[in-house]
A and B are shown apart, each in its own frame.
Chain A
């Protein structure tokens, strides 16, 4: 193929005078990491609450949690993002919607993507928390109750500490997914890593260099996450259970 390779393109000053193209990539990396980590915090908190609610002996709470999971898990992520970004501000009371739309566009894009990714991933985390809790023998809960613990205490001191340890490996997958899913924010204009790749293509007409560099940066993020989660896994494992000795 008649392609003009030019790896030095990253060191060239950008056509708009905003630093070099390498600095564009790093800027994109910064947004991808910030967005994904913040969304992951939301996902863990909401996912844990919903996951616990799915296992409590109360039909209405269980139904509420199940509805949350099914809605957020079954609507495509891209559609959810468009709803948060384009539709919601129109549905809010006029003053609030207008106020949101007059905010700095970057803040609007970031908030929409953050809420969208956080709520979406929360549904998936919730299912793992639920399966973690359900994987424990029923005797553990009953023993806790028999000891005189209240139900919240049983969850806090008996069930959850075990459940979280069991689900570390699938949670790692979700953690990796959130970085990759963060690329949907491109579609509403957030200048994250995959968006910067497209920008680089537009400005330099060097698509292969741009996409290879961005792919390597995603790999770098994910290898780091995998490595850290391995450490967590080893640190928290309980002798006699999965992976424990």
Chain B
């Protein structure tokens, strides 16, 4: 059983490197201090949260919130210089990469839910969204009930996929559900006519619309099927690091900085096409800035 031996060795190595030397102090903070580097997990096409601009730099709402955390970590450790390493993650690998120590923190468009809390810890919520539909203006689709028997696309590994499959099973809607690998591919599926609607977090739908060849052709519609809290993911066994992260995010939310960042990404023209998402601050978001928390909705 050569394979089994190798596997055990690999597991032991990861266990050794990831276990804190002293239980009280934060392993992540210690690692950051020792190496002078923090590794940030980001998304590649989650507009306007975390995505690449024309120069392949990571930009977006979540990215700016994450940089607030980086500043706080730097101050906490009293470092003169802190290098940041950017690491792109996908819906499918982000949890594993946080767990195994490849990235120290991931701020993108990750929903805080109870299953995920078994594996990773979530910071203070940075954004609240609702899951809705995007469709062509003249498709005649107004709400989820209109989707019966049609082709519907969603992104694999998202809460929308779960809700859509459950809805299909519970209400026997006979939808054909296509699970594309990222939001860009989901939108391509919608745009090329393979699916009549795209179910996703509303903010991301507005983001995809901003990338479309003719943004005016599309609308976001339907009753929100769930509210979701986006948080930054950090390792579960490290309350010391989470405390620093939460403090930084709470400060940003209550001091009005988060609202300024919100206005920059949701109410003003953004790259790549200079389109304005025009998504006003929701009541849920207003409540969040008054009382920041790290609660999941489900």
**Interface of A toward B, CB cutoff 8 Å:** 1-4, 15-18, 86, 89-90, 98, 101-102, 104-106, 108, 186-187, 189, 191, 195, 198-199, 201-205, 207
* B162 at the A interface (CB under 8 A): yes
Interface residues of B (CB under 8 A from A): 11, 14-15, 18-19, 91-92, 95-96, 99-101, 115-116, 118-119, 151, 156-158, 161-162, 165-166, 168-170, 176-181, 188, 192-195, 235-237
- What residue in chain A is nearest B96 (Cβ atoms)? A207
* Cα–Cα, bound, A71→B284 (Å): 55
Q: Which of A18, A105, A195 is within 8 Å of B194, CB to CB? A: A105
Residues A4 and B119 in contact in the complex (CB < 8 Å), given A104-B176, A105-B178, A186-B181: yes
B194 near A101 with CB under 8 A, answer yes
Q: B14: nearest residue on chain A (CB-CB)?
A: A1
> Hey, which chain B residues are within 8 Å of A203, CB to CB?
115, 162
**B162 with A205: CB separation less than 8 A:** no
**Interface CB pairs A-B, < 8 A, 15:** A1-B14, A2-B99, A2-B236, A15-B166, A16-B162, A106-B176, A198-B92, A199-B156, A199-B157, A199-B179, A201-B96, A201-B157, A202-B157, A202-B158, A207-B96
Q: Tell whether, in the assembled complex, residue B99 and residue A18 are in contact, meaning their CB atoms are under 8 Å apart.
A: no
Other-chain residue from B157, B161, B166 in contact with A17 (beta carbon distance below 8 A): B166
Residues of chain B contacted by A189 (CB below 8 angstroms): 156, 178-181
Which residues on the B side are within 8 Å of A106 (C-beta)?
176
Indicate if the CB atoms of B165 and A105 lie closer than 8 Å.
Answer: no
* CB < 8 Å neighbour of A205 from B18, B118, B156: B118
Q: Enumerate chain B residues within 8 angstroms of A205, measured Cβ to Cβ.
A: 95, 115-116, 118-119
Closest to B120 in A: A205
Residues on A with beta carbons closer than 8 Å to the beta carbon of B99: 1-3
Q: A2-B237, A86-B192, A205-B95 are in contact. Are A198 and B170 (CB under 8 A)?
A: no
Contact between B92 and A201, CB atoms less than 8 A apart: yes
Complex CA gap A201/B165 in Å reads 16
Inter-chain contact B235/A101, CB cutoff 8 Å: no
**Closest residue of A by beta carbon distance from B166:** A16
Chain A residues closer than 8 Å to B158, beta-carbon distance? 202
Instruction: Provide the bound-state CA to CA distance between A4 and B120, in Å.
Output: 10
Give the complex CA separation of A101 and B193 in angstroms: 7
Report the minimum CB–CB distance from B246 to chain A (whole Å).
19
A205 to B117, CA, bound (A): 9
Chain B residues within 8 Å of A207, by CB = 95-96
The answer to whether A2 touches B115, judged by C-beta atoms less than 8 angstroms apart, is: no
Q: A202-B92, A202-B157 are in contact. List 4 more A-B contacts (CB 8 A).
A: A1-B18, A2-B236, A98-B193, A199-B179
Residue of B nearest to A90 (CB): B192
Contact in complex: B91, A202 (CB < 8 Å): yes
Instruction: Check A1–B115 contact: CB distance below 8 A.
Output: no
**Which residues of chain A come closer than 8 Å to B177, judged between CB atoms?**
105
What residues of B have a CB within 8 angstroms of the CB of A89 in the complex? 192
Closest to A211 in B: B96
Within the assembled complex, what's the spacing in Å between the Cα atoms of A201 and B158? 11
| Closest CB in chain A relative to B149 CB, distance in Å | 11
